[in-house]
Amino acid sequence: MPHQIHLTVAALVPGEQGFLLVKEEDNGRIVINQPAGHVEPGEGILDAVTRETFEETGWRVKPNHLLGISIYTSPHNQTTYYRMAFLCQALEQDRYAVLDSDIIETLWLSETELRARENEMRSPMVIKTLDDYCNGKRYPLEIINDYR
């Protein structure tokens, strides 16, 4: 039985230059991921995705749709993650933002570039989230009820 739940959020942020991604270190590996991270205790899910995206990229975003919910057990640490992916609109970048320490750099990659680097992804959920977006999956944010 797990001692805690790993609820995470991820932002798929399309733009003129492609999709906003991060290159980060994860358990000694250099990987590519959508801006993502854990929901903190007492935090709303939409607040978490905007916070994590800003902390990892310096971009302020607005979540517009839920793309999907994934459950994944990492072969690297045997942790099961529950991941909610959101389609977000890039609003503005703070070029002076101090990024999380495990972020090596932010990237904008086209769909083709992203798929060509599939073996560098942090998890299969990165490409699955891209697939959901490309296949037109969109769920309204109104399905999330926050009673805090």
pLDDT single digits (tens) 58-111: 999 999 999 999 998 988 888 899 999 999 999 999 999 999 999 999 999 999
Mean pLDDT of 18-33: 94
Q: Could you tell me if 5 and 111 are in contact, meaning their C-beta atoms sit under 8 angstroms apart?
A: no
Domains of the chain in sequence order: 6-143 (3.90.79.10)
Q: How far is CA 118 from CA 54, 83, 89, 132, in A?
A: 24, 19, 23, 16
Residue 93 three-state SS: strand
Chain centroid to CA 131? 14
pTM exceeds 0.85, yes or no:
yes
Mean pLDDT of 112-141: 96
